[in-house]
A and B are shown apart, each in its own frame.
Chain A
């Protein structure tokens, strides 16, 4: 433990911590996306998957704690390193010309902050406080999925958030190999290809959820429209109030 802490005190140790925690979060993101693909199989399949997960508390809760720890380590390390890197060049250049740095690599702190806000929003929206965003909340996971993504503004938030995710992973997945020292001349070109492939698959698949709902490819479940009308009705019937 003392060695791990000593390692973490160095800049390289923090980068290794960021790489490993980032890889765990990427792993979760892949599982999350694959699970959500059940939405294309319809209401019954999606709800069976959701309830199946809920019935595995001994898997769900340790995963949640692990993810929380990974997010904490990732963000704390990033904050320390970004602050340090800013201090490392107190006076900026008048002219800068970059050759290798990409839009994604330079935007890592920005896309990271965007992801932090997006994940916070996503947790509130679907888990902690759905009533803040949705007109109605249901005990049916698929109905909540549909209610969330059929709202045009919320769908845009999901699209923007997933673009930030793709950008972050495009540099982060590649960078992680370098940070943990996983390199070999034979396999080095594959690291960039793997990052492009993973970022593309994850982003496109995630973007398709809000887009499919918006375009009607994923249809409203039976009875949903009527229930929404009922939920909206009391608002219409409410006393005129003070206006």
Chain B
């Protein structure tokens, strides 16, 4: 067991409207701790002293739910590639840096709730705008009734890997949600079941994305680099293609039935 001392600089903010600031905490970290376990230790100590623990989002701690996420030394989910904050281990910091700055995801589309917790329900509204397929329920279809080429199903799975954590928005210099929206549009748009609503999906999800106040994509590529699931920016080009095509060819009747 090997431990080392680190200094945390954590963003503390009581409420969405309160003035926030960095507070420093000295911690003895074990290299086998996950980053969140290290914060748990800090919080235990704070609670014992009768102070307010650091608020941060977490759930499965297995890297699949998309709930955790903070910006660690300027990187969403920290320095390890393809890894969520909960799966990041303190051994990554064994050789420094021993000063660790922890900030919430910062974006107008992710209003801050408390400390490191942000409200990502903007993503839910983007999904509600079209991130689904409408099917009749009833007896399940035979699993292999609809043939899908292997390469296509692989690509759809790559897009479906998105866990909606928001690291793409956090890492983007423009706080754009393009990678998230593109992953969802691609995932459904590649498969036969997603074809019926494909044009409306592209138009409605992009419109929802714009309405949430996220920035635009300027093709820096930071999102792909920060994504714990390695979602490719190629999907953004696909989204753009789907959106332009849908805007040009959508039936006017469908446009009118949108109610706007």
* Chain A residues bordering chain B, tally (CB within 8 A): 44
Most buried by B among A81, A101, A106: A101
Segment at the B interface, from A45-53, A59-67, A90-98, A143-151: A90-98
Q: Tell me if A126 counts as interface (CB < 8 A to partner B).
A: no
Q: Which of B164-213 contact A (CB under 8 A)?
A: 173-176, 206-207, 209-210, 213
Residue with the greatest number of chain B CB neighbours at <10 A, chosen from A6, A10, A16, A177: A10
Given the complex of chains A and B, what is the CA–CA distance between A92 and B214 in angstroms? 15
Give the CA-CA distance A93 to B175 in the complex, in Å. Answer: 12
**Does B153 have its Cβ within 8 Å of any Cβ on chain A?**
no
Given the interface contacts A10-B206, A91-B106, A182-B237, does A85 sit within 8 Å of B218 by beta carbon?
yes
Chain B positions within 8 Å of A12 at CB level: 206, 216-217, 239-240, 243-244
How many Å from the CB of A4 to the closest CB on chain B?
A: 8
**B71 interface hit (Cβ, 8 Å):** yes
Instruction: Give chain B's interface residue range (CB within 8 Å of chain A).
Output: 35 or more
Main secondary structure of the interface of B (DSSP, over half): mixed
Closest to A172 in B: B219
- Rounded to whole angstroms, the CA-CA distance of A178 and B173 in the bound complex is 17
**CB-CB contacts below 8 Å: A40-79 with B:** none
**Interface 1/0 per residue, A73-113 and B, CB below 8 Å:** 00000000100110111111111111111100110100000
Query: Is there an interface contact between A183 and B238, defined as CB atoms closer than 8 Å?
Result: yes
Partner of A179 from the list B207, B219, B220, B238 (CB cut-off 8 Å) is B219
Can you offer 22 A-B residue contacts whose CB atoms are under 8 A?
A7-B247, A11-B209, A11-B210, A12-B206, A12-B217, A14-B216, A81-B216, A85-B175, A88-B215, A89-B107, A89-B174, A91-B106, A93-B71, A93-B103, A96-B74, A97-B73, A97-B75, A98-B220, A100-B220, A101-B173, A181-B241, A182-B237
